[in-house]
Chain A
Amino acid sequence: MRLLKDQQRVASGYFDTTIYLDGIAGTGKTTAAIERVKELIRSGVPADSILIWVPQANLAMPYRRALQRARIDADTNVPTTTIGKLAYEMTDLFWPLISDDEKFNFGDKFGRPNFLSLELVQYYMTKFLGPEIELRDYFNSVHISRNRLYTQIVDNLNKAALVRFEPDKIGDRLKDALGDSVEQSYIYDDAQETASLFRQRCLEHNLLDFSLQVELFVNHLWPLEQVQNYLTRKYRHLIVDNVEEDTPASHDILRDWLPQTDSALLISDTGGGYRRFLGADPINAETLCDQCQVHITLDNHRVMSKELVALHDQLDFSLDPSKTDEPQSDADARDAIAYAPDINYQPQMIAWAAEHIASLVHDQGVPASEIVIMAPYMPDALRFSLQRELDAQQVPHRSHRPSRALREETASRTLLTLARLAHPHWNLPPNKFDVGYALAASINELDLIRARLLADVLYRNGKLAPFTGIKNDALTQRITFDLGMRYQVLFDWLQAYQAQDPLPLDIFFSKLFGEVLSQKGFGFHGQTDAANIAANLIDSAQAFRQTVSEIEPNLDIPTEYVKMVEEGVIANQYLRDWEDDQRDAVLIAPAYTFLLTNQPVDYQFWLNVGSSGWAQRLYQPLTHPYVLSRQWQSGRRWTENEEDEAHRQTLAYMALGLIRRCRKQIYLGFSQYSEQGYEQRGDLLMAIQTMLRRLNRSDAHA
């Protein structure tokens, strides 16, 4: 791609100073930054002295790909990081500098840190807080699930670390701004108590969750000369992308670091800040502009068609009551959108979307990867329906689900059911339905009906019986000898296993997978997805065992793990899930997830346009993204007006951000009634209708 003049300045100039680069999405900021990295390397700068810093790991992917493809006759292995990764690496490396410091009170001052994955955070939340919540009747007026309670407690601790206030001030901040009623104040007190208790227990056991890693790094390691020298001497050139999506903790480190670099490029996406709910602070990011010697703004939009630019401006006008001058566009905003009028119910909307996608892919030759389908939330039911319709239309699709319960996957459920069968001493016998299901998934060609028959006859009192246990010839024939023998192989393996000392669960899974389930004739043989899920489950069980056995060597680890999974623990996120997500397929994702991939596409399908979810935050009674931000002035009260303004802003950011990431057209899908049968009249729909009426009126006047 040819660079424009200002992009060129960014790419090949100012190698000895600091630049602040801004502009809306699609103006080529990242493209210019990638070229800058290449130029730095070509000029002799060692690749490993450049650091690419992004707010979340997947945003570094365009850099990695471009550098891997670059035709440069030198090393291009430029490290990439996030505040989380940096905090983890520095805490791991320099742990001995802080672990025996009295002020932290770590339980084992000379022991190693135990880094908590997402799964383990959930486990220890349940373990440390569950009994206390029961005993002290915390949150008795809050009616949301335990998992959601825990996530909000974690969220509060994360905010304290990322915004940099004391974790024991969470409750006070929330109460001062929002504690109107006694009941609400109690909730914030309980939120404080539970957060403090979790932190205290983590310190006792050297358990480091994300918030503690960030806190240790930002507040205690970074100020040490040895650590700061290590980082600032190693990385002489910084490229910080999407600084507006990053947090005050990152900004503070950068503020110290900038004067110590040879060069730095800070990139801000004007109008961004989508990660506010994760502590992103675009206003704080702007203060870094003053720290930079050069300020460049890119304003030449290279993504949106002129119709989409018109749509962007018109919708912006509709969404912002402070704007008085109607935008003048040289194209018709209506040409940028397509919609089906008169759809009453969601299934019709889904069918409409799938038909149009099929036509784009099959008739117009649009690559499937240039299409995204999104909704404010993507519940399983909606996702499954979309997948089914797209399958029927033979359109490849992929779905990025940021959070998935481990137990949801067939392969994991199968392994867990077989584990229960193989360990009768756990006293966790699976139910007959699960046994039938597991047999169908384990034995190739065994359908669910025959698998259930097998379970009916051969599964009694928590135990399987051999195939020869079937005395009914008709049934034996119906199952077939061949499938019966495969059942017998599985049965024999489980019997032989029980004759030995039990193995750790992950090792049991691995052997069962390798020696039976993935052998020819069995359900996992050559099944890519099942093997992948099994691999994730094995990693998860292994990490669980390694950490938990360190903390409580006498605990019955396998049953603890099984219970945790059954309770719906959300699986760890792996970077490889993003990396592997490169297939030519239509992406199905929540709107935020798409926005945060920061990759434009040709066509977007917005579903449930009438939903209020486009503007409203989730109901989060224990936390608050605005009050726990650095922009919040202590002592103020959060008002209803502010709540309304926050909704409006959320919607505007989201809708305009999406339009800026579209090249050709947006399809608007709305049904009069939601899945639950309510009429849908959300703010996004209202704004679009207002815009259309205004445009139609000006046509009439003309």
Chain B
Amino acid sequence: MNHLPEDFIFSQSSLQDYVDCPRRFQLKYLLRQRYPAPEVDDLLEFERRMAQGERFHHLLHQHAVGLPAEVLQKRIDDDEVRRWFDTYLANGLNDVPERRYPEYSLTIPLGAYRLLAKFDLLALSDDKALIIDWKTSRHVPRRDRLQKRLQTIVYRYVLAKGGTALNGGQPIPPEQIEMRYWYADHEGQLVSFAYDAAQFEADEHYLTCLVREIEERERFPLTDDTTRCAYCTYRSLCERGITAGPLDEWELDEPTDLDELDFDFDQIAEIEF
């Protein structure tokens, strides 16, 4: 039975959720059930780190659209963010091609649906297509773990498959693509992943099978790895515990799925009251 709406859009976060726990995927993306329990024990610190991450990404966006670094530096009131920004100025753009697309999104067809990737920065030259993801997390994950993360798989695949319009109407050859995680809190340490045609084919096969599996699922079982439930807001719904896990032991140490701003800032008239 297919539960997916016709206009469903997959993303690295929804696919990662599915791989981590099918039930979470169902609750979050199919049923769109919000369940506002804490994700971690120390919510204030969690919020502080999220805000720092957002602030840092925003500064980089402002810098990328041409606001001078000194103008931006004057306005940073958080020492950590300032240190990150200085690190970025020192080495964040080393070997980054000149044709740059900050905060760029692409969707491509995936089976009967679409797959979305939101890049922090895409940078292109004649023979290189670089994806940069700015990370502000406290830990640098192990390379083998990052390699397996859906973000690494999805981002490279989406660019190879959907970057045509950015490349003069020609697909970007996988061999030209590199995915680079850049760690602000570790002096700009890099973890890079190259790409090639074989990996592209393997990713295509993997992603297509994954989507087909989701489409054909009758049930969305709870994960067997109950350690995940400590960091999942649905834990009470699934009867998998009461309190949230400690922030310091959280594997990711960085929110991957910053909810988009959803307020309607537009005006509202009295007639509607």
| Bound complex: CA A284 to CA B122 (Å) | 40
A538 at interface by CB-CB < 8 Å: yes
Interface size class of B (residues with CB under 8 A): 35 or more
* Binding stretch for chain B, among A45-53, A461-469, A672-680: A45-53
Tell me the A508-567 residues at the B interface (CB within 8 Å): 509-511, 513-515, 518-520, 525-526, 528, 531-532, 534-535, 538, 542
> Which of B33, B239, B263 has the most chain A CB atoms inside 10 A of its CB?
B263
B127 at interface by CB-CB < 8 Å: no
- Using CB atoms, name the residue of chain B closest to A115: B265
User: Which chain A residues lie closer than 8 Å to B263 at the CB level?
Assistant: 117, 572-575
Tell me the A73-97 residues at the B interface (CB within 8 Å): 73-77, 82, 84-85, 88, 92-94, 96-97
B61 at interface by CB-CB < 8 Å: yes
A344 at interface by CB-CB < 8 Å: no
User: Which chain B residues lie closer than 8 Å to A525 at the CB level?
Assistant: 236-237
* Binding stretch for chain B, among A64-72, A332-340, A428-436, A659-667: A64-72
- Closest chain B CB from A81 CB (angstroms): 11
| Bound complex: CA A82 to CA B268 (Å) | 14
Residue of A88, A277, A528, A542 near B265 (CB, 8 A) is A88
The reply to whether A534 and B38 form a contact with Cβ atoms under 8 Å apart is no
The reply to whether A68 and B7 form a contact with Cβ atoms under 8 Å apart is yes
A417 at interface by CB-CB < 8 Å: no
The majority secondary structure among interface residues of chain A is: helix
The reply to whether B114 and A76 form a contact with Cβ atoms under 8 Å apart is yes
- Using CB atoms, name the residue of chain A closest to B107: A77
| Bound complex: CA A515 to CA B35 (Å) | 12
The reply to whether A96 and B67 form a contact with Cβ atoms under 8 Å apart is yes
The majority secondary structure among interface residues of chain B is: loop
Contacts between chains A and B (CB distance < 8 A), count: 180
User: Which chain B residues lie closer than 8 Å to A371 at the CB level?
Assistant: none
- Closest chain B CB from A63 CB (angstroms): 11
How many chain A residues touch the partner (CB < 8 A)?
85
| Bound complex: CA A118 to CA B14 (Å) | 30
| Bound complex: CA A84 to CA B268 (Å) | 11
- Using CB atoms, name the residue of chain A closest to B6: A69
A507 at interface by CB-CB < 8 Å: yes
User: Which chain A residues lie closer than 8 Å to B270 at the CB level?
Assistant: 148, 151-152, 155, 618, 620
The reply to whether A65 and B7 form a contact with Cβ atoms under 8 Å apart is yes
User: Which chain A residues lie closer than 8 Å to B271 at the CB level?
Assistant: 277, 592, 617-618
- Using CB atoms, name the residue of chain A closest to B37: A514
> Can you list 15 contacts pairing A with B, beta carbon distance less than 8 Å?
A75-B107, A84-B267, A88-B265, A93-B61, A115-B265, A211-B267, A402-B272, A510-B38, A514-B236, A519-B236, A535-B35, A535-B36, A573-B266, A576-B32, A576-B262
| 8 tightest Cβ-Cβ pairs between the two chains A and B | A514-B37, A68-B7, A46-B165, A84-B266, A402-B272, A535-B34, A535-B36, A518-B236
| Extra inter-chain contacts (17) besides given A74-B164, A84-B266, A277-B271, CB under 8 Å | A44-B164, A68-B114, A85-B265, A93-B61, A93-B62, A151-B270, A154-B267, A513-B37, A514-B242, A514-B243, A535-B35, A570-B268, A573-B264, A573-B266, A574-B264, A590-B272, A593-B272
Q: Which residues of B contact A (CB under 8 A)?
A: 6-9, 31-38, 43-44, 47, 58, 61-62, 65-67, 71-72, 74-75, 77, 104-109, 114, 116, 162, 164-166, 169, 233, 235-237, 239, 242-244, 262-273
Q: Which residues of A contact B (CB under 8 A)?
A: 44-48, 56-57, 64-65, 68-69, 71-77, 82, 84-85, 88, 92-94, 96-97, 110-112, 115, 117-118, 147-148, 151-152, 154-155, 158, 162, 210-211, 213, 226, 230, 277-279, 402-403, 503-504, 507, 509-511, 513-515, 518-520, 525-526, 528, 531-532, 534-535, 538, 542, 570, 572-576, 580, 590, 592-593, 617-618, 620
